[in-house]
Structure 1
Amino acid sequence: MLAAFDDAVADGVDLISFSIGDDLPAQYFEDAAAIGSFHAMKAGVLTSAAAGNSGLESGRVCNVAPWILSVAASSTDRRLVDKLVLGNGKTIVVSEINIFPELKDVPFVFPINGSCEAESLAVAGRSYKGKILLCALPSNGSGPVTVGAAGAVIGTDQPDIAFSLPLPAVMVSQAQFTRIMAYVNRTRNPVGTILASESAFDSEAPIVASFSSPGPNMITPSILKPDLSAPGIDILAAWSPLSPVSGRSVAYSIDSGTSMACPHATGAAAYVKSFHPDWSPAMIMSALITTATPMNSSRNRGGGELTYGAGQLNPVRAPDPGLVYDAREGDYVRMLCAQGYNSTQLQLVTDSDDAAPCRGGRRGSAADLNYPTMAVHAAPGKNFSAHFPRTVTNVGVPGSVYVAKLVSSRPELVRVAVSPRRLVFSQLGQRLSFTVTVSGVLGGANEFVSAAVVWSDGDRHVRSPVIVHTVDV
């Protein structure tokens, strides 16, 4: 993997798209992606990476090094849906890719031992031919196909994803499966109809994917990860004919994952770089993060920015962010020293023999890194106060004045202050500094409060999310 990073940089690439993740984050000196992307960053190459697909547990977000753009997956306003019509006329609507003709009024049957795996169905001693199998547990559909079932209803813990299966089937949530079983159990001859899939407008989008790995950042808690979200559910993409989909060889297929979201962000980064070829990787990251469209926390699972970062990627706004937060190799090295890295660990990341940066132990805090977002891990019931020194570079217009607007979802619990509140720029490239102070108290465990510092000159709005939480992993 490290050789691949080095070869890509040697080939003169502008960006690296890294759709590889892990179940858990690792310390940077043990993480090949963090090391390889650090070398790329030194050469002026930004790495955009998948945030991971372990979405059911907090703290699973991976690729969390601050020189990597970590991308969560979210939905688009195009949803692929299918419908199961029960014999009593009730309709179950699900996300599904069903390319088969309508399957009408077919009897339901529940496997004797509850499993839809091929081995279990083969020894159960019952005929399932021409029937719709009711599978309570997740299945890829191969078992029902093997025993000649006409269709299947399959339970899933990822009901927001449209799967492609080798027979007419619907993937339903556990609540929907319970409704279906209630109908089956009180009906003498229960039947169902599985319709063909169709596309529908989803007014709730974007919503972070159920599988997308959430924060908090377990390696550097003061750095918010994931950074932002991008489309990663039901994405149409080129496909290798050597990898069959539902037994068919295809040139295109629909897939879901943060590995599908990551290339969207990489493309947006390339778009920004086409306008600003001399910008550093950190400046490009900053432009994407501060121009992201805020997402609605009430529509998403708990955790707010811990699940979707700064919000939904907005390529249209990103080339003209107004202000950017820049960081270079030395800034990241100082952050690693502040985090407690010794000279040996530092050398593993930087490949430098210079041990001077970390001599004298910890200096400052990882929160001092000039990053466009801020995170605070607070202890339940205890007062906290955190300080984030930041510097922004004017890339908008000369002679501009930016005024800070402070936003908090729970101002009675979390207070955000900025000093100074007004930044006056006389020229492009000018750098001005300020300090963000976040203080307050959260009463219970696993709580979060979303806030933001928004710098505006009237035309541009530079939004830096702040998340305070008591999530303990």
Structure 2
Amino acid sequence: MKPAAAALILCVLLLVVVQLQLGSGQDGDELDIDEVYIVYFGQHSGEKTHYEIEDTHHSYLFSVKDSEEQARASLLYSYKHTINGFAALLTPNQASTLSELEEVVSVFRSYPRKHTMHTTRSWEFVGLDIEELDHDHLMNKPNATSDNHDLLMRARYGNGAIVGLLDNGVWPESKSFSDQQMGPIPNSWKGICQTGQDFESSHCNKKLIGARYYLKGYEQRYGPLNTTIDYRSPRDKDGHGTHTASTVGGQRVAEASALGGFALGTASGGAPLVHLAIYKVCWAIPHQGKEEGNTCFEEDMLAAIDDAIADGVNVLSISIGTSKPTSYEHDGIAIGALHAIKNDIVVACSAGNEGPTSGTSSNNAPWIITVGASSVDRAFTAPLTLGNGITLEGQTVTPYKMEKKMYPLVYAAQVSSNTVPKNATTDGQCLPGSLEPEKVKGKIVMCMRGQGTRVGKGYEVKRAGGVGFILGNSLANGAELTVDAHVLPATALDSESAIQILKYIYATENPTAYIAPAKTILNHKPAPFMAAFSSRGPNPITPDILKPDITAPGLNILAAWSEVSSPTKLEDDARRVKYNILSGTSMSCPHVAAAAALLKVIHPTWSSASIRSALITSAGLTNNKGMFLTDASGHKPADPFQFGSGHFRPTKAADPGLVYDASYTDYLLFLCSNGLTNIDPSFKCPELSPSSNNLNYPSIAISKISNNETVIINRTVTNMGDGKSVYLAKVRSPAGFSVNVSPSTLFFEGIGEKKTFTVTVRPRQGGRKVDYNTQYSFGWLTWSDGVHIVRSPIAVSSSSSA
């Protein structure tokens, strides 16, 4: 018998033996592998001490482990403050045994999440002019009757509010985190400044009032943290956490810019005097000794939220999401956020960066403000001139310049290496190692967006000897131009321009091009438009809750940066910057969190649901050309599954007129209606739970109405505006449906008064237009007293269109 044949037979026999062992049913627990599971019991009663709680959690583990030593060694976290549960190493059989206990709400395996990666202009763009701080005014109480343009003064620039950020830490030396002019640390603050690698207690101040880090889940997966790729402390080595924190509450920093002059101006957070609490839950992923992205584990995040609630934060900003739809009882962020809401903490989360595919939004729980990403009116133009004399407008924040002359131009697919397999999905992508240096040297190379990172494509062109780089948008990206600090002269162009360049290359014997230096342009039009990457609805978990809720600036946002991270995060990029420009719903989320903090100061008695409602119903629907918001193409109208209720307008949210309030009990009833009857063991679901679309939400979504069905939805509004007022309803019905509101007039005698109305939705006979991606049509319900406009989006689909 030939050696190769013998080896093959041996392999087959070994596989058969393994399969027989796995299927034998013997020694099942020995074959089970310990994984991290979260065991959730609901809310603490408050009757036990922290030591008693941990002992109770140990006793549950001892019931499924062989010894008390094993039980104690397996425990990672005991959630002791508000959240009742623990994270531990369990086999699937042990997890299943615990899940069968009556007092256990849910048991779910931990899985890692990635950053959703998911500001000198964005705040001015949405109507907040961050001027010189009036210190004398800070000592006065906010005046809720002032005009809208005084929002920052009324909110004392956020002074007194505490925003907690779950991210990957902070660079405390940034000028954005100076505590000059900061007020005293609120007496309600109970948190700590946790020290660690290169992070001392002195790094906390009246701005950064707290810092903690959580990595037990991370280290269980990857082993001890490699401190060459991340700090074992709240310090940020990546830059993402510093960026989001300074967007929320960074101090005013004059003459800030990225890469030597881009976006030059005064950098500031939306609430520049808010207090910040940092919860580092995301860490660099080790890969062959190199950093490869960031990850965040459920058990670490849940521990951080549990601490944040006990610490006394008012708002949580969480720029973390997942592309995998997760039911609420198995979602650590959703569970933690529900406990936060019970303590009247506003929770803002990023929607994710999985667009433009529909049904991709994350953080879909109705007690969370879910934020999409849109543009601002600033561009970084770097025109591309072709050899035929045509000039196309591209964008970049690349500081490198070319000698002013024409250079040979090639498409990546023409100069790819012969050793790289050719296929339609990788041709033209400039993936690592794909370009042939002999074919690239001295040329400008055009690469297409798609697979791989944008900055990685530019690095590959430089590696192969290219002198310039063009990044062409795919059709899905349209006119959305995400700028990057590439490692060589570069520009990014929209999909129409990319097609034009390809036609020129293939129709010309010796194509040439020149990339002009980039410059910052303000009042760019149209703006805002939706970013193509922004995840969108319909809600993949509960379609009767419209998600995302709102959109905010998330495209090309300038904010503070870690000074040990390059602007591209590429390992071989030696540049270091104090401020950087990033894009993602990670950047839009802290904008809304800052606005929520301002509203918390102005209206300290408002519930978290009221603040969310005020932001949602006051959002805008037009761009700076006076036209309806568009998608990334700049031409096609966007819809509520992209922008929710519209582009956030914090100055309008401060005086919304009416709000749709909701209590913790309302959310439990919503969960009951969706079959989740034991999220809070102290609450007993009624025999007949209300329909989930009857949650008092500031938007309306109805899925799969049958042809002869009538859906009646109940809503209640609370008067937060003038004491005596009259509101009239105006409806724009979704195509193919009729919508009636009763009563259509609401009379209010005083502030705080509530009025209930019904919305009746029926399919119209005959054909109707629907969005071909979502099979939904959209409309609007607006209440107005002549001063306030309280607008709610409506999304409806019929069973015949599914």
TM-score of the alignment, normalized to the shorter chain, above 0.5: yes
Moved more, 47-56 or 87-96: 87-96
Aligned partner letter, 2:395? S
**What whole-Å deviation, never above 9, does each CA across 1:123-149 have from its counterpart, x for those lacking one?**
x36242221123245552111111221
Look up the match of 2:589.
Answer: 262
Please give the alpha-carbon distance, in whole angstroms, between the structure 1 residues aligned to 2:653 and 2:448: 45
Alpha carbons of structure 1 residues 95 and 447: separation in structure 2 relative to 1, 3 Å: farther
> Among 58, 82, 101, which residue is 2:401 paired with?
101
SS of the equivalent of 1:417 reads strand
Corresponding residue of 2:644: 309
Deviations 1:319-347 (A, max 9, x none): 1111111111110000110112132xx2x
* Larger CA deviation: 97-106 vs 314-323: 97-106
The corresponding residue for 2:374 is 74
Q: Given the alignment, which residue of 317, 331, 338 partners 2:666?
A: 331
Once the 2 structures are TM-superposed, how far is the Cα of residue 454 of structure 1 from its aligned partner? 1.2
Distance 2:648 2:698 in 1: 15
Q: Does residue 147 of the first structure (1) align with residue 464 of the second (2)?
A: yes
Equivalent-residue separation in structure 1 for 2:700 and 2:577 (angstroms)? 44
1:52 aligned partner: 352
Q: What SS does structure 2 have at the residue aligned with 1:229?
A: strand
Letter aligned with residue 100 of structure 1: Y
1:299 to 630, 641, 654: 630
Equivalents in 2 of 1:328, 1:96: separation in Å?
A: 46
Contact 1:111 1:135 in 2 (8 A): no
Sequence identity, in percent?
40
Letter aligned with residue 55 of structure 1: G
More displaced, 75-84 or 133-142?
133-142
Q: Kindly name which structure, 1 or 2, has the bigger radius of gyration based on alpha carbons.
A: 2
Change (3 A) 1:149 1:378: same
User: What is the rounded CA distance, in whole Å, between the counterparts of 2:586 and 2:638 in structure 1?
Assistant: 22
Aligned to 2:541: 219
Per mean C-alpha deviation after superposition, the further-off stretch among 240-249 and 438-447 is 438-447
In 2, distance between residues paired with 1:88 and 1:443? 43
Q: Give 1:310 deviation, angstroms.
A: 0.2
Counterpart of 2:434 (choices 120, 138, 142) is: 120
Aligned match of 1:238 in 556, 560, 582? 560
2:685 is the alignment partner of 1:353: no
Q: Deviation of residue 32 (structure 1)?
A: 0.7
CA distance in 2, matches of 1:409, 1:371: 18
Deviations 1:61-119, CA, capped at 9 Å, x for gaps:
11111110000001111122221100111112223223122453111134144553342
Q: Secondary structure at the match of 2:434?
A: helix
Q: Which amino acid aligns with 1:269?
A: A
Partner of 1:349: none
CA contact (8 A) 2:317 2:589 kept: yes
Q: Does 1:371 align with 2:697?
A: yes
Cα distance in 1, alignment partners of residues 548 and 438 from structure 2 = 48
Q: Is residue 191 from structure 1 mapped to residue 517 from structure 2 by the alignment? A: no
Q: Residues 217 and 223 of structure 1 are in contact (CA less than 8 Å); yes or no, is this contact kept in structure 2?
A: yes
Question: Scaled by the length of structure 1, what TM-score is found?
Answer: 0.91
C-alpha contact (below 8 Å) 2:352/2:534 kept by paired residues: yes
CA 1:58–1:419: 2 relative to 1, 3 Å: same
Q: Distance in 1 between matches of 2:437 and 2:667?
A: 64
Matched, 1:89 2:389: yes
Equivalent residues of 1:117, 1:142 under 8 A apart: no
Q: Residues of 1 paired with 2:546 and 2:313: CA distance?
A: 27
> Equivalents in 2 of 1:374, 1:269: separation in Å?
22
Contact 2:473 2:493 in 1 (8 A): yes
Residue identity in the other structure for 2:748 = F
Aligned residues of 2:437 and 2:464 also touching (Cα < 8 A): no
* Residue 404 of structure 1, aligned match among 729, 734, 749: 729
Q: Deviations over 1:217-274 (max 9, x none)?
A: 1212111110011000010011111221142111101010001000110111111111
Structure 1 residue aligned with 2:599: 272
Question: Relative to 1, partners in 2 of residues 1:91 and 1:409: Cα closer, same or farther, differing over 3 Å?
Answer: farther
Q: CA deviation at 1:298?
A: 6.8
1:202 to 524, 537, 542: 524
In 2, the alpha carbon distance for the partners of 1:398 and 1:205 equals: 36
**Structure 1 vs Structure 2 CA RMSD:** 2.2
Could you say what secondary structure the match of 1:97 adopts? coil
Which blocks of at least 5 consecutive residues in structure 2 are unaligned?
1-300, 418-426
Distance change >3 Å, CA 462–CA 22, structure 1 → 2: same
The offset of 1:461, in angstroms, is 1.3
Residue in 2 that maps onto 1:419: 742
- Identify if the C-alpha distance between structure 1 residues 277 and 298 changes in structure 2 by more than 3 Å, giving closer, same or farther: closer
Hey, what's the Cα distance between the residues in 2 that align with 1:409 and 1:470? 11
Deviation at 1:397, TM superposition (A): 1.6
Shift of 1:186: 2.7
User: Are 1:111 and 2:415 counterparts?
Assistant: yes
Report deviation, 1:292.
0.5
Number of residue pairs the alignment of both structures matches: 459
- Report the counterpart of residue 443 of structure 2 in structure 1: 131
Relative to the length of structure 2, the TM-score reads 0.55
Between stretches 148-157 and 173-182, larger displacement belongs to 173-182
DSSP-derived class of the 2:401 partner: coil
Structure 1 residue 392 corresponds to structure 2 residue 691 = no
CA deviation after TM superposition for structure 1 residue 385, in Å: 2.9
**Alpha-carbon distance in structure 1 between the residues aligned to 2:488 and 2:391:** 20
**Secondary structure of residue in 1 paired with 2:446:** strand
Give structure 1 stretches of 5+ with no counterpart: 347-351
Tell me, yes or no, if structure 1 residue 433 matches structure 2 residue 756. Answer: yes
How big is each residue's C-alpha offset from its partner over 1:387-443, in whole Å with a ceiling of 9 and x where there is no partner?
Answer: 210111111121211111122364xx2221111111111111111110111222446
Tell whether the 8 Å contact from 1:291 to 1:461 is kept in structure 2 after alignment. yes
Closer, same or farther: CA 40–461 of 1 in aligned 2, 3 Å: same
CA gap 1:217/1:303 in 2 versus in 1, 3 angstroms: farther
Q: Which amino acid aligns with 1:466?
A: I
Question: Residue type of the partner of 1:322?
Answer: G
Amino acid paired to 1:392: V
Match of 2:530, SS state, is coil
Q: Highest relative contact order (Cα 8 Å, sep 6+), 1 or 2? A: 1
For residue 448 of structure 1, the aligned residue among 754, 759, 776 is 776
Note closer, same or farther for the CA distance 1:64–1:137 as it changes in structure 2 (3 Å cut). Answer: closer
- Give the corresponding residue for 1:17: 317
Describe the SS at the equivalent of 2:440. coil
- What is the alpha-carbon distance in structure 2 between the residues aligned to residue 259 and residue 179 of structure 1? 32
Give 1:162 deviation, angstroms: 1.7
Residues 304 and 448 of structure 1 are in contact (CA less than 8 Å); yes or no, is this contact kept in structure 2?
no
AA aligned opposite 1:317: K
| CA shift for structure 1 position 206 | 1.3
- Mapped to 2, the partners of 1:431 and 1:222 lie a distance apart of 24
- Alpha-carbon distance change, 321 to 443 in structure 1, aligned in 2, over 3 angstroms: closer
Range with bigger deviation, 126-135 or 454-463: 126-135
Counterparts of 1:283 and 1:249, CA distance in 2: 42
| Alpha-carbon contact 2:546-2:699 (below 8 Å) kept | yes
Distance change (3 Å), C-alpha of 1:6 and 1:394:
same
Whether contact under 8 Å (1:24, 1:61) holds in the other structure is: no
